[in-house]
Amino acid sequence: MGDVMLWSAVAIAVLMVSTWIVSVIIRNASIVDIVWGFGFVVVAWVSRIVGDGDDARQWLLTILTTIWGLRLAIYLGWRNTGHGEDYRYRAMRKRWGPRFPIISLATVFTLQGTLMWIVSLGVQMGQADDSPSVGPVAVIGIVVWLIGFFFEVVGDAQLTRFKADPSSAGKVMDRGLWRYTRHPNYFGDACVWWGLAIIAAESGGGAWGLLGALTMTVLLRRVSGVTLLERSLKKRREGYAEYIARTSPFFPRPPKRIG
């Protein structure tokens, strides 16, 4: 298990430092967002190669992580192409000036790499434990993963269509899954990692993956996801305050009736 965790950390370090070097050359730190999903794919395959756990569980964790990670990386790459650097990194670049490259190495790339290692603990440890194969607990994890993947993929697709409609400019997306939760993609992301953690937990040692799923959920709900995004949406979207009043921020539920 120690070898899997070590080599995963090495792979993440190489990936993030390489990404940082490219970001300095092209003056665009936003590429780290695209590499975020791909990084988990790298971890899954490194764990698959180094780990000596149950073969069926290894392939299950590797395949599901690869599907999720590549889908996210491709989607963000397509969405961000041609739009320049994200406003978050532009603000940091303006604040730190010439020191931004070095500061971004620590506060963006190293931080995201560390979080990637923690979130992926289930994928790592679930592949290092050779306890019995895929059973009923893993089946529950697969179901949770499928629910999460559905919310993430469908939520992103619905938002893309909404933004492509010129008449939607400046308006609030409150249709489809977005009627039941303000962030179906973030909810789906969290479910995906709870699903992977549950699959890994059947191995015993893989139960540490639950810590990774919890970390991802806290990030999405309280740190870099819902909280950070809505600070700007409240200012940029007319009617967003009313949308907040009637719609769940994270867990899907029927909208409230506003008198």
Q: How far is CA 98 from CA 24, 33, 94, 104, in A?
A: 11, 22, 9, 11
Q: How confident is the model at residue 234 (pLDDT cuts 50, 70, 90)?
A: low
d(CA 192, CA 202): 16
Query: 27-36, 134-143, 170-179, 217-226: which range is least confident on average?
Result: 217-226
**Mean pLDDT, residues 233-252:** 81
What pLDDT sits at residue 184? 95
Cα–Cα distance between 125 and 53 in angstroms, integer? Answer: 9
pLDDT in the model for residue 87: 83
Amino acid 252: pLDDT: 95
pLDDT digits (tens, 9 = 90+) for 160-183: 999 898 888 778 888 999 999 999
Three-state SS at 140? helix
Asked if pLDDT for residue 199 goes beyond 90, the answer is yes
Position 223 scores a pLDDT of 82
Q: What's the mean pLDDT when you consider all of the chain?
A: 90
Segment 80-100, tens digit of pLDDT? 888 889 888 999 999 999 999
* Main-chain dihedrals φ then ψ at residue 171, nearest 5 degrees: -95, 170
Say whether pLDDT at 108 is over 70.
yes
Confidence of residue 73 (pLDDT cuts 50, 70, 90): very high
Residue 137 in tokens: 């607990």
Q: What DSSP string runs through 4-51?
A: HHHHHHHHHHHHHHHHHHHHHHHT-TTHHHHHHHHHHHHHHHHHHHH-
Q: How far is CA 72 from CA 99, 134, 140, 192, in A?
A: 30, 26, 23, 12
Round to the nearest angstrom and report the end-to-end CA distance of the chain: 56
Q: What is the pLDDT of residue 167?
A: 84
Instruction: Say yes or no to pLDDT of 138 above 70.
Output: yes
How far is residue 162's CA from residue 130's CA, in Å, rounded to a whole number? 47
The identity of residue 120, as a single letter, is S
Q: What would the pLDDT profile of 32-68 be if each residue is shown by its tens digit? A: 999 999 999 999 999 999 988 889 999 999 999 999 9
5 — pLDDT class (breaks 50, 70, 90): very high
What is the pLDDT at residue 118?
96
Query: What distance lies between CA 78 and its chain's CA centroid?
Result: 16
Q: What CA–CA distance (Å, rounded) separates 203 from 126?
A: 6
pTM of the model: 0.91
Per-residue b/e over 201-227, b at no fewer than 16 CB within 10 Å?
Answer: bbbebbbbbbebbbbbbebbbeeebbe
State the residue for tokens 């990670």.
Answer: 69
**What DSSP string runs through 222-255?**
IITTHHHHHHHHHHHSTTHHHHHHHS-SSS--PP
